[in-house]
């Protein structure tokens, strides 16, 4: 598995944590900050996976399918 696909999978793995911290204690400032950090990390991985895949010619069918799916889930 190449680096862009690993970044995409990492983003998918972050989704349940993001949802948990957003919904479990909605009034908790700490949980909101954690959710925001998770969202920022996920956004950065989204930016990086595509750039790396195109630059290093690592575009795969898995990435073409999972990247937009991960975007929609997040």
pTM higher than 0.95:
no
The predicted-structure confidence for 2-36, as pLDDT tens digits, reads as follows 999 999 999 999 999 999 999 988 889 999 999 99
Structural domain including 38 reads: 3-73
Instruction: Tell me which residue of 33, 48, 2, 38 sits closest to 17, measured CA to CA.
Output: 38
Number of domain units in the chain = 1
Residue 39 is predicted with a pLDDT of: 96
With beta carbons less than 8 A apart as the criterion, state whether 3 and 59 touch: no
* SS3 labels along the chain: CCHHHHHHHHHHHHHHHHHHHHHCCCCCHHHHHHHHHHHHHHHHHHHHHHHHHHHCCCCCHHHHHHHHHHHHHC
């Amino acid at each position: 598995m190449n680096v862009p696909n690993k970044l995409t999978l990492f983003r998918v793995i972050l989704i349940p944590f993001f949802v948990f911290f957003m919904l479990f204690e909605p009034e908790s400032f700490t949980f909101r900050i954690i959710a925001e950090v998770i969202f920022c990390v996920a956004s950065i991985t989204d930016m990086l996976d595509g750039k790396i895949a195109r630059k290093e010619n690592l575009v795969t069918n898995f990435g073409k399918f999972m990247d937009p799916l991960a975007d929609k889930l997040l």
